[in-house]
Amino acid sequence: MPIFTICKPKSSVHSYQRINMHFLISIGIILAIIGIVLIGILKSPLNISDKLLIAILATFVVKFGFDEVSVITGNRLYSAIAAVFGTSTIATCGWYIKYLTDREAGFGARQLYIYSPLAVSILLFVVFFPNVASDARLKIYYTGMALVLALIVYYFWFCINMLRKHRQLIRENYSGVPGSITVNWMIVIIALQVAEFLLKAILARFITNYDDTNITIITNEYCFIVMTFLLVVLGIWQKSIPVFIPAKEEIFQSALQADDLQRYQLKLEKFMDEHKPYLDPELTIEKLGELTRIRKLLLSQTLNKAFNKNFFTFIKEYRIRHVEAELKNKNNEERTIMDIAYMSGFNSKTGFNRAFKEVTGKTPTEYLED
C-alpha cells in the first residue's frame, strides 16, 4: 500500500502534472541551448574537450525533445528513447575527462564503439515496441529500462576509470593541484543519473497519483536540469590541462640503461639541492625538464625508475623537508607553519596538511607539539 496520496481531483492532478512537465522540459532545453552558445563564444577556439561538452549539452536538447513528445503523445517509446540519449552523455563525460589532458589524440570511430549498445537499444525500441500488443508493451518498456540501468552502471565505471587515469597523469606532470585541474565535479554529474533511477523508484512506490510515464519524465527533468546547469557553469570554468604523454615508440627507443639512469639521478639530486626549484608552486615536469636540460621523457623515467616516485610525490617530499628545515630555523620563530608552507611551494592549506601527514606520519599540529 502506498504511504500517502495527493488529494486532488484526478483531472486537475493530470492537468497540473502536464503543465509542470512542459515547464521543466522548456527550462532544460533553453538552459542547454544557452550553455552551447556561451561555451562556443567564451572558450573559442574550441579544443576536443570543449566540443565534447557541447555534444553533451546538444544531446540533452535531443533528450528533452523526446520527453516533450512523450508528454504530448503519451507514448512510452519516446520516453525510453529519451532515456537512452540521456545515458549516452555519461560515456561522453568519460571522454571529456580523457581529452582534458590528452589533447593530441583525435576523436573518431574507435571512440564511438562505446555507444554501440545504445544504438542497438534504440533500434530494438523502434522496431519491436510499436509492433507488439499493448499489454506486452509495458513489459518491453521495463526490460529496456533495466538495460539502460545496466549501461549506466557500465558507463559510470568507464568514467571512474578515466578519472583515475586523469589523476595519474596530473601527478606525473604537476607538483600542485589547483582547482581548475581537478574534475571531481564530474562524479556529481554522473551520479545524478543513478540518483534519477532511485528517485523514480521511490516516487513510484509512495505516490499513487503519478503514473509511471509522468514519474519517469519529472524525475528526469529535475536531475537533467541540475546536470545541465552544473555542466554549463563548471564546464566554462574548467581549463584544459596540458600533460606529457609519450608514445610507446618513444618510450622503447629512449629506455635508460643503468649507467645513464644513475647519471641523471645524480644530476637531478644536485640541481634540486642547489637551485630548489620545488619552491615554485607552479612547477611542472616540463618546466623542471627545461631547467635541468633533461628531456621530459628521460626525466619521467628517472623519477619512476631511479626514485620509484611520480613527479608529484617527488616534489612534495622536497617541499616537506624544506618546511621541516625552516621550522628549525630560529629566524622563522615569528612565522606560522602556513607561512612557511607557502614559502616552500604549497598553494593550499588542505594540500599542505595532507602532504605533511603522508610524508612525516604526523599532522602539522602533532609535529609542532613534539
How much is the mean pLDDT over the chain? 80
Q: Are 320 and 210 in contact (CB under 8 A)?
A: no
Q: What is the dihedral of CA 311, 317, 319, 322, to 10 degrees?
A: -150
CA distance 284 to 177: 11
**Geometric angle at alpha carbon 62, from 59 and 68, rounded to 5°:** 145
CA distance 317 to 329: 19
Task: Name the packing angle between helices 349-360 and 311-327 (round to 10°).
Answer: 90
Across the range 260-270, mean pLDDT stands at 90
Which CATH code is given to the segment(s) 248-369? Answer: 1.10.10.60
15 confidence band (pLDDT: 50, 70, 90): low
What pLDDT is stored for residue 208 in this prediction? Answer: 52
Domain range summary for the chain, segments of one domain joined by +: 10-237, 248-369
* Distances from the Cα of 271 to the Cα of 62, 123, 278, angstroms: 56, 62, 11
343 confidence band (pLDDT: 50, 70, 90): very high
What pLDDT is stored for residue 344 in this prediction? Answer: 92
**Geometric angle at alpha carbon 327, from 322 and 329, rounded to 5°:** 95
Least confident segment among 150-164, 169-183, 248-262, 326-340 = 248-262
This prediction has a pTM of: 0.77
Q: Are 246 and 297 in contact (CB under 8 A)?
A: yes
What would the pLDDT profile of 184-220 be if each residue is shown by its tens digit? 788 888 888 777 766 766 665 565 555 555 565 667 7
Helix residue ranges per DSSP H, 174-257: 185-206, 212-237, 248-253
Q: Is 5's pLDDT higher than 70?
A: no
Which CATH code is given to the segment(s) 10-237? Answer: 1.20.1070.10
Cell of 175: 607538483
What would the pLDDT profile of 17-65 be if each residue is shown by its tens digit? 566 778 888 898 999 999 999 999 998 888 888 999 999 999 999 999 9
CA distance 302 to 309: 9
What pLDDT is stored for residue 249 in this prediction? Answer: 47
Cell of 297: 621523457
Q: Which long-range contacts (CB under 8 A, 24 or more apart) does 307-313 make?
A: 307/265, 310/168, 310/171, 310/172, 311/171, 311/172, 311/173, 311/174, 311/175, 311/284, 311/285, 312/170, 312/171, 312/172, 312/174, 312/175, 312/177, 313/171
Chain mean position to CA 42: 21
* Percent of the chain at pLDDT exceeding 70: 79
For 284, the 3-state DSSP assignment is strand
